[in-house]
Amino acid sequence: MKTVGMTHEQFKTQVCSVCRHENALEAEFCLKCRRPLSLKTLIKMEEKKKEPLRLITSDVTEQMVQKKVEEILAKHNSNAQAQAKKEKEVTS
C-alpha cells in the first residue's frame, strides 16, 4: 500500500528561530528556551495579555464614569431644587 501525498514518515520538526532547538511540529513553545515557536502563538499570547486591560477600559471605567456622572447630577439637582425652593419662599 502506498501513502499518497506523504513522503516517508520523517521526523517533522520546527526549528526554534532563537536557539535552533528542534521541536515537535505541534509544539507551541520551544522546549529549550520556552519562546513561542510560531507567529500564531505569539499573537495569541499578545491578545491574552491585552484582554484584562480591555475589560478594564470598556466595562469597568464606563460604570465608574456613569456612577460619577449620576453622583454629580444628583448633587446638581438637589442644589437646583434647594435654590428653587428658596426662590419660591422669597416670592410667595
| Residues forming the site for Zn ion (CB under 5 A) | 16, 18-19, 21, 30, 32-33
DSSP assignment of 4-30? TT--S----EEE-TTT--EEETT-SB-
CB-wise, 33 or 74, nearer to Zn ion?
Answer: 33
| Closer residue to Zn ion (CB): 31 or 56 | 31
> Looking at beta carbons only, is 32 or 85 nearer to Zn ion?
32
Question: In which element (H, E) is residue 39 found?
Answer: helix 39-55
Looking at beta carbons only, is 21 or 41 nearer to Zn ion? 21
CB-CB contact of 43 with 55 (8 Å): no
Closest approach of Zn ion to the CB of residue 31, in Å: 7
Give the DSSP H/E element, type plus range, for residue 76: helix 61-91
Measured CA to CA, the distance from residue 7 to residue 89 in angstroms comes to 97
